Amino acid sequence: AQSVTQLGSHVSVSEGALVLLRCNYSSSVPPYLFWYVQYPNQGLQLLLKYTSAATLVKGINGFEAEFKKSETSFHLTKPSAHMSDAAEYFCAVSDRGFGNEKLTFGTGTRLTIIP
Amino acid sequence: EAGVAQSPRYKIIEKRQSVAFWCNPISGHATLYWYQQILGQGPKLLIQFQNNGVVDDSQLPKDRFSAERLKGVDSTLKIQPAKLEDSAVYLCASSLVWGSTDTQYFGPGTRLTVL
């Protein structure tokens, strides 16, 4: 069964510092991988997705993620944190096979930005 | 473009009572999803519709949960009777087509508290 593990339920960074949120996946077939962001009292919004094209994926709000098959990782980064980045971030995986392609989410990482 | 609409936004009930949630997906989106997000966890798929047919309901507790999507547009998720462990945010999402790379757009969710 496919799964993702997010390392660190809480991450704090200073404004202007590098943001690094970690995600490792487990999948029996080459996966599709996603990062979603959730602001308080709102639904989830897609940041970016990996679907087997370029391994370095650029998303919205200056975020990017790199698919590393050898490390089974899909870490999310942003060079310079902004106060508006404070939110909860979820990594998700979906199998590629035709049929039941549901998203399996990690437990989330709450990002706090320190002024 | 209007997003995914959900109502109510908040609901408090006592255990053994019944409750229903409503979702209106983005116009033209064929696929509709209901997720359960328990505090501190990532969303878990409960049921997935393709138009008005069920694609996946393997994680839906069918003894108490039911869902329908009449006419392939709006959907209703019902819990009867509710248990304390049903306290969660219920998220509705929709996507244009059925496929593992297609973006899912999420509504703001309904926060259910069971006392």
What pLDDT, in 10s, does the model give residues B41-66? 899 999 999 888 998 899 999 999 99
* Contact list, B101 vs chain A (CB under 8 Å): 32, 49, 51, 94
| pLDDT averaged over every residue in chain A | 90
Torsion angle defined by CA atoms of residues A27, A70, A53 and B34, in that order, rounded to the nearest 10 degrees: 30
Does the structure show a pLDDT above 90 at A40?
no
Does the structure show a pLDDT above 70 at B100?
no
At A57-110, the pLDDT tens digits run 999 999 999 999 999 999 999 999 999 999 999 999 987 655 556 788 999 999
Does the structure show a pLDDT above 90 at B97?
no
* Contact list, A49 vs chain B (CB under 8 Å): 101, 103
Does the structure show a pLDDT above 80 at A43?
yes
Torsion angle defined by CA atoms of residues B20, B26, B30 and B34, in that order, rounded to the nearest 10 degrees: -30
Helices (runs of H) and strands (runs of E) counted in chain B: 0, 11
Give the pLDDT band (50/70/90) at residue B101: low
Quick one: closest CA in B to A53, which residue?
B101
**Range A25-49 average pLDDT:** 89
Does the structure show a pLDDT above 80 at A30?
no
Q: Measured over all CA atoms, what is the biggest interatomic distance in chain A, rounded to whole angstroms?
A: 46
Q: For an interface test with A, which of B56, B100, B103 has the most A Cβ atoms less than 10 Å from its Cβ?
A: B100
